[in-house]
Every structure is written in structure tokens, then in C-alpha cells.
Amino acid sequence: MVEPSEPGILGIVGGMGPGSAILLYDGVIRMFQQHKSTIRNNQFPRVHVHSPTPIDNIESFRDHGVLSSLTESIEFLNAAGSTVIAIPCNTVHRFLPELQTASPVPILDMINLTARKIIEDDRGRALLLATRKTLASGLYQTILLRERLEVNIPDGKEQTLIDEIILSINGGIFTATQATSLNEFIVNANREGVDCVVLGCTELSAYARSSYVAHFETPDRLLYDSLDILVHETYQTLSGSAGRIEHHCNEERSVDDKGRRCPLQAAAEE
């Protein structure tokens, strides 16, 4: 009997917010269970998690000191033997070029992966939900607009709602009232021509997996969950399915025809 090859070693930069690292780890494990029928402990990937000096990934942190804290995590994960590194936080991806330069080990680009998936699916107009700093960085907009996709972003009042929801999810106090407000916002955007919604903040993945999201999902309105797309690419890289690391999305859809996320959906149903 031929023993399966040992998967790679995953390094996760955690703590931004803490729940996102857990969702990433859980999603990757579920992918191995579902697609590799993995059942033995020694067949799952080893995982190292390092949380840098505390960083508020919502809005209040200053750039000074953030890069050095992130570099500290990258150096730790390299030294620990990681074969690929994932950062489940969109906001700090603006530091990715510097971190990639400092890391001999490849670091997956969640924003580029998500944007490329939208482009591959030939969407026309996206609603981007993210922190203010992610929006200000223009990382998503630059890639999508280059491919002539329109990008809608929330106005001031709408962004205040997104900020409050992100903080509530991070604190475990996300409410049905907040979900209803967000659903109404997305439905109205769809009526104005938006044909997909980009969850450009990993805290919003908790919203995507909640029962509330079913209130507005239809086949023509797809959710692009950046964390779920990172889960897929991380799995493919660790399992060897991707062949080599490339900065574009894998061929497997992160959502089905009804917009449901695959690897994280099981967790929502438990």
C-alpha cells in the first residue's frame, strides 16, 4: 500500500481578528477531509500560528510599527519550517510586497486571488465591503478596474454600518438587526445593477456563514468571500493540487450557483 505524501506546513499570521485564523485552519482541515478523505492525524497538514504584537485591523492603528510586527510573525513562521504562509486579514495586505520580499517562503495574496476569481467568473459590477483602510488602499479597485469591472463602495453612512458589523462580529455580538440592515443594503445595491458582493474583510466571513445571509441570496447574486477563497488556495497549495504557487485563483469555485461557500459551510450547519 502506497502511503499518501505528507502535506506541506501551513504558517498563519493570526490575531487580525482572532476568529479569522480559526476559520482558515478549520476550513483547510475540512478541505482535506472532503477532498482527500483524510482521517489520520499524520495526514493532515502541520500548522503554525503566530500572532504579531497586537494590531487593531479595523481602523485605529497607525502604520508605524505595523510592518515590523508583521515581519516578526513572518520571520517566526519561516523559522518554524512553514512551506506556505497565509494572512487572513485583507487590511494588512497593503504591506504584502514588503513581507514577500522579507520571506523566503511564499505568502499567498488573498486580495489578488479574490479579485482574479471575480474576473474569471465574468462579473460586471461589484459591491466591495471592507474596512476603510482596505478601501483606501485601492488594492481591490486597482485590479478590478483594470479589467473594466465597475466597483461600488459604501457611502459614509453605509460604511459606518459595515464598521459596526465588523466590530460586532469580532466581539461575538453580531445581531439580527445588523444583519437585516446589511441585507437591505445589499438588496438595494443589486437593484441598482450590482451583480456580486465582495466580502473584503475576513470578519464578514462569519456573516456569510450565518443563517441571516439566506435572506437575500439568489443564483444571480454571488458572494465572493475572501477568506473562503484563501482557504481553497491554501488547501491546493498544501495538498500539491495546484502544482506550484501562482498568484491567481484556483479553478474550483469558491461558491456554488447559489452563492454558498463550500468548505466553511459545513461549520455553519453544526
- Residue 85 is part of a domain; what is its CATH number? 3.40.50.1860
DSSP helix/strand/coil, 256: coil
The whole-number pLDDT of residue 246 equals 35
Tell whether 188 is covered by a domain: yes
The whole-number pLDDT of residue 241 equals 59
Residues 232 and 103 in one domain: yes
Residues 166 and 240 in one domain: no
Tell whether 261 is covered by a domain: no
Residues 58 and 119 in one domain: no
Residues 61 and 134 in one domain: no
The whole-number pLDDT of residue 265 equals 40
Residues 129 and 48 in one domain: no
Tell whether 258 is covered by a domain: no
The whole-number pLDDT of residue 59 equals 55
Tell whether 54 is covered by a domain: yes
The whole-number pLDDT of residue 207 equals 83
d(CA 201, CA 257): 22
Tell whether 33 is covered by a domain: yes
d(CA 86, CA 232): 11
pTM of this prediction? 0.83
The whole-number pLDDT of residue 205 equals 85
Residues 35 and 96 in one domain: yes
DSSP state, residue 6: P
Residues 32 and 123 in one domain: no
The whole-number pLDDT of residue 60 equals 53
Residues 100 and 184 in one domain: no
The full length of the chain comes to: 270
Residues 122 and 215 in one domain: yes
Residues 101 and 140 in one domain: no
Which residues form the domain of 102? 9-109+228-247
Tell whether 253 is covered by a domain: no
Low-confidence ranges of the chain (pLDDT < 70): 1-5, 56-64, 214-221, 241-270
Tell whether 3 is covered by a domain: no
Tell whether 29 is covered by a domain: yes
The whole-number pLDDT of residue 107 equals 98
* C-alpha 194: how far from chain center: 21
Residues 98 and 232 in one domain: yes
* C-alpha 10: how far from chain center: 16
Residues 95 and 143 in one domain: no
The whole-number pLDDT of residue 229 equals 96
Residue type at 158 in one-letter notation: E
| Number of separate domains in the chain | 2
**Residue 163 φ then ψ, to 5°:** -60, -45
